[in-house]
Amino acid sequence: MDTPLQMIINNVSKHIVLTSAEKDIFTGMLQAKNLKRKQPWISTGDVCRHSAFVTAGCLRGYTVDSNGFEHVLSFAPTDWWMADMYSLLTHQPGNLNIEALEDTEMLLLPKTSQEELYKLVPKFERVFRILAEKSLVAYQIRLIDNLSLPAAERYARFCRRYPTLIYQLPQKQIASYIGVTPEFFSKMRKGM
Amino acid sequence: MDTPLQMIINNVSKHIVLTSAEKDIFTGMLQAKNLKRKQPWISTGDVCRHSAFVTAGCLRGYTVDSNGFEHVLSFAPTDWWMADMYSLLTHQPGNLNIEALEDTEMLLLPKTSQEELYKLVPKFERVFRILAEKSLVAYQIRLIDNLSLPAAERYARFCRRYPTLIYQLPQKQIASYIGVTPEFFSKMRKGM
């Protein structure tokens, strides 16, 4: 089984070829952080100062509306990146809560190191360009789905898009992501 | 007043410094395209093969649900970039319609040229990394707003975020972006 450092090297090596020296620069910037199940990493109002790469477990990003209802925005299982991008880029307090859905291990890349990395190893611009584009596409699809598709079709698309997450996640988390109550979600699945 | 080519050079020069030779490589890849008011650029089912940079006018990206209702996803006024990113990145038929809200002038960067550009002038990775991140943040905020804020607050945020668009856009387009009917939008504005 790969070590966490090997996992993150494999992840970025999908997009660029790194020399040993460049790998050392990159991995030297990373900080390991573990979370227990349900432990928060970032809460609304915090300034997000790191990008997180998940090496075990799963993160969940969610927001809480004025009525106290949670709305799940995104999940990051193993081998995915996660951050409150608004807060990370603007240095403003964020709107997201990010917490561990299960015991989770992450490697954190501080924002200041990331900017340094672009100077030292410019090809990392490519890695984060591609990651941002993929994330952007996921948000675009999600927004279109929310605006234009009935709940059953949103669930079908969720299943196609995140096949491994269907069994990993509590049903109420999937319901929240799709934008329905757990009760409606349960009825809907029985009717499918 | 700047020429369209000078406008796009200014736009990318916010993020990178280009030599004359690099400017020539970039501008040599661009194609001018004009649209009349309400003329479509891309329709649902098309494969999006260009990124568009608006030099005059305004583009509107929208989707149509199964009941025939339009939902506005994004606007691109002068000096903004626009594409169906899902389709552009995956080469699959897209979900978006993109059309001109008024007479519009664009410079198109073909996707194939963009990939070539990354090879010839790698610092363009930085430009499109930053553009993708900003767009991603806009989608993230939009999704959180749609999930958690009442319509009046979504409108207030729209006004803060796109101050120049409030006067430029037809009210029914703003209503569609915010996710309310034109009738509700009109009532809401009178009550503010």
Pairwise CB contact (< 8 Å): B71 & A126: no
In a domain, B48, yes or no: yes
A149 contacts in chain B (CB < 8 Å): 65-66
Query: How far is it, in rounded angstroms, from Cα B175 to Cα B180?
Result: 5
Read off the tokens for A62: 């969610």
pLDDT in tens, A5-46: 999 999 999 999 999 999 999 999 999 999 999 999 999 999
Higher pLDDT, B93 or A65: B93
Which pLDDT score is estimated for B92?
95
Q: Which of B7, B40, B16, B1 is nearest to B124 (CA)?
A: B16
Which range of residues forms the domain containing residue B84?
4-121
A/B interface, count of CB pairs below 8 Å: 114
A65 contacts in chain B (CB < 8 Å): 147-149
CB within 8 Å of B44: residues ≥ 6 apart? B63, B64, B93, B94, B95, B96, B97
3-state secondary structure B136-178: HHHHHHHHHHHHHCCHHHHHHHHHHHCCCHHHHCCHHHHHHHH
- Chain B interface mutation, best of A69, A87, A144, A157, highest count of B Cβ atoms under 10 Å: A144
In a domain, B71, yes or no: yes
Higher pLDDT, B152 or A50: A50
In a domain, B189, yes or no: no
Query: How far is it, in rounded angstroms, from Cα B105 to Cα B191?
Result: 37
Pairwise CB contact (< 8 Å): B136 & A132: yes
B129 contacts in chain A (CB < 8 Å): 125-126, 128-129, 132
Number of domains in chain A: 1
- Chain B interface mutation, best of A85, A123, A133, A176, highest count of B Cβ atoms under 10 Å: A133
Least confident of A68-77, A83-92, B20-29, B45-54: A68-77
Query: How far is it, in rounded angstroms, from Cα A63 to Cα A96?
Result: 5
In a domain, B129, yes or no: no
Q: Work out the angle between the directed axes of helices B4-12 and B20-27 (0-180°, nearest 10).
A: 120
Pairwise CB contact (< 8 Å): A66 & B133: no
Mean pLDDT by 10 residues, chain B (192 residues): 95 97 98 97 97 96 84 89 95 94 96 98 97 92 79 81 76 80 82 70
In a domain, B96, yes or no: yes
Whether A162 shows a pLDDT value over 80: the answer reads no
Query: How far is it, in rounded angstroms, from Cα A58 to Cα A169?
Result: 9
- B21 DSSP assignment: H
Pairwise CB contact (< 8 Å): B122 & A125: yes
Measure in Å the smallest separation between the Cα of A144 and chain B Cα atoms: 7
Measure in Å the smallest separation between the Cα of B120 and chain A Cα atoms: 13
Measure in Å the smallest separation between the Cα of B190 and chain A Cα atoms: 24
For residue A37, give the 3-state DSSP assignment. Answer: coil
Read off the tokens for A31: 């900080």
CB nearest to B137's CB, from A86, A142, A148: A86
In a domain, B158, yes or no: no
Pairwise CB contact (< 8 Å): B65 & A123: no
User: Rounded to two decimals, what is the model's pTM?
Assistant: 0.88
Measure in Å the smallest separation between the Cα of A134 and chain B Cα atoms: 8
Confidence of residue A173 (pLDDT cuts 50, 70, 90): confident
In a domain, B133, yes or no: no
- Assign residue A64 the CATH number of its domain: 2.60.120.10
**Mean predicted lDDT score pLDDT of chain A:** 90
Question: In sequence order, what DSSP letters do the residues of A153-165 get, joined into one string?
Answer: HHHHHHHHH-TTH
Measure in Å the smallest separation between the Cα of A125 and chain B Cα atoms: 5
For chain B, strand residue ranges (E) read 31-35, 40-42, 50-56, 58-64, 70-77, 81-82, 97-100, 104-110
Pairwise CB contact (< 8 Å): A136 & B135: yes
Please report where in the chains the tokens 């004025």 appear, as a residue.
Answer: A66
In a domain, A162, yes or no: no
Q: Is B81 exposed, middle or buried (0-12, 13-18, 19+ CB in 10 A)?
A: buried
ipTM for the complex shown? 0.86
Which pLDDT score is estimated for B192?
66
